Amino acid sequence: MKVLRKNAKAGFTIVEVVLAMGILLVGAAAILSMLTFGASLTRAAQLRTAAATAVEAVRADLEANMFPYDPTLDGEKGEIGPPQSFVDRAVPGLSQVVYSATPTENPDLPREYRVDVDITWTTGGVERNKQITWIMLREISFGERLRRRFVEKSGAMPGQEVE
C-alpha cells in the first residue's frame, strides 16, 4: 500500500508544462505551414486557369475572325479574304484580355500561316503578358460553315427564325 506524504503537491512540473507547450507549438506550426502551402497552390491554380482561359478565348477569336469570309469574291460562291492583323483587340467576353496578332504566310504552303500573338491580361491586379505562335490554315471557320450550311440553305436570313 502506498502512502502519500502530506506535503506532496499534485500537478505538473514546470519541465512537463514547457515540454507540452513545445510539442503543441511544433504541431501548430506544421498545420499552419500546410495551410499556407495549400493556399499558395490554390492561387497558382487560379492563375493558370485564368491564363488558359485567356489563351483559349484568343484562339477562338482568331479562328472566327482572322480569315474573313467575303461573299463578293469569286462570283456567287464567295471566298475567304486575306488574313487580318489585329492590334490591341479586346477578346469578346473577357474585357481585361487584349491581344495583337500578326499572320505570316508560309511560302511553301500558301494556305498555311504562322500567327504570332501577344496576349496581355490583368488578373489579381497584376498585368500579365504571353507570346504564342500558332500555325493556322486559311479556311472558313467552323461557325461560318454551319451558318452557310443551315441558315443559307433554309432560305432564312441571319436574325430570322426558320419555320
- Range of lowest pLDDT (1-15, 34-48, 76-90, 91-105): 1-15
- Range of lowest pLDDT (41-45, 65-69, 138-142): 138-142
The H or E element spanning position 136 is: strand 126-137
φ, ψ of residue 37 to 5 degrees: the values are: -65, -45
Task: List, for residues 74-93, the tens digit of each pLDDT value.
Answer: 655 667 878 899 999 998 88
* Mean pLDDT over the full length of the chain: 82
Please list, in sequence order, all residues whose beta carbon lies within 8 angstroms of the beta carbon of residue 100, skipping any fewer than 6 positions away: 85, 86, 87, 88, 89, 117, 118
Percent of the chain with pLDDT over 70: 82
CA distance 18 to 10: 17
**Residue 150 — very low, low, confident or very high, per pLDDT cuts 50/70/90?**
confident
Query: Does residue 29 carry a pLDDT above 90?
Result: yes
How much is the average pLDDT of 42-62?
Answer: 87
Cell numbers representing residue 83 in the block: 488574313
